[in-house]
Amino acid sequence: MSSGIVTVFGGSGFIGRYLVQRLAQDGWMVRLAVRHPARANFLKPLGDIGQITPLCVPVQDPEAVAAALHGADAAVNLTGLLYESGKQRFQAVHAEAAKTIAEVAAAEGLSALVQVSAIGADPSAQAAYARTKGEGEAAVLQAFPQATILRPSVVFGPEDGFFNRFAEMARFAPALPLIGGGKTRFQPVYVDDVARAAALALKDPACRGKVYELGGPKTYSFKQLLELLMKTTGRRRMLVNLPFGIARLQAAFLELLPVPPLTRDQVTLLRSDNVVSEGALTLQDLGIEATTVESIIPTYLDQYRVGGRFADRKLF
């Protein structure tokens, strides 16, 4: 039996592919609102024939957003940027698009809206990423007060941009940087746990109008995460302290690259811990047991092991 129609903005991204699978399993008819529908075709086999439909929806276009939401029962907004490039700006995607989606969702009479934000989202934050995420949250709740806000910490999983990036660096670089001394704390959360939270929030009316901060069962310093990565991949690399000032200077040049490994805004973000706030609603309040980093990263970081994926395995 169908659970209804749900429009997922940014559904072909990292979190989206896990969420779409769960929504299909729950019986939703899924509209994938993405910039490039052809690149989302790989998600179609996750559901029955015709259950998952990619649509070309520029989120800055109110008419396209309205068309994607017309007749839908619920929506999830996963759109977000890790860095700005070209016409893709934080303000437009994190704040203005979120506002448009929420306003149209309210006008169309949707029963549920889930806005996936980030821990640290705050309209007064120094980092543009966190500031625009906070502005987006405020705009969503003003237009759609019963929306559910999910704020994940650093999300990990096979396609992540954190462990994979540093594991690739460790293959060639003699040292890895400890930005700001590596003291920034994180609470990594498994991508499928975030997807489960979003899918549950759509179904459960008790989640509406609430904000949940999603973190894993343990907190780690940036240094501890790099040490865990090296232990998992069997590599030894120097960890070199890189003061924030020098990191920011380097980022000024690195962010000119097509895919920047570091930006000045990310350096600013690293000045603040990325952990669940005391007293916040969490995965536990959703009935979800958080998955540990140690149980997952060996399943996809083994490709970076010294000697390759099967280096420590006996063939006979």
pLDDT in tens, 173-225: 999 999 999 999 999 999 999 999 999 999 999 999 999 999 999 999 999 99
Question: Which residues, including other chains, have CB under 8 Å from residue 256's CB and lie 6 or more apart?
Answer: none
Domain boundaries defined on the chain? 4-155+188-215+275-288
Report residue 20's pLDDT band, with 50, 70 and 90 as the boundaries. very high
Instruction: Give the distance from CA 297 to its chain's centroid.
Output: 17
Mean pLDDT of the chain: 94
Distance (Å, rounded) from C-alpha 96 to C-alpha 203? 26
Q: What is the pLDDT of residue 315?
A: 39
Report residue 310's pLDDT band, with 50, 70 and 90 as the boundaries. low
Can you name the CATH fold of 4-155+188-215+275-288? Rossmann fold (3.40.50)
Q: What is the pLDDT of residue 314?
A: 45
What are φ and ψ of residue 291, in 5° steps?
-85, 140
Query: Cβ–Cβ contacts within 10 Å for residue 275, how many?
Result: 20
Report residue 85's pLDDT band, with 50, 70 and 90 as the boundaries. confident
pLDDT tens, position by position, 48-67: 999 999 999 999 899 999 99
- pTM for the full predicted model: 0.94
Closest to 121 measured CA to CA, from 90, 86, 164: 90
Burial of 299 (0-12, 13-18, 19+ CB in 10 A): exposed
What are φ and ψ of residue 34, in 5° steps?
-135, 165
Q: What is the pLDDT of residue 306?
A: 79
Across the range 267-295, mean pLDDT stands at 97
* Residue 161 clears pLDDT 50, i.e. is over it: yes
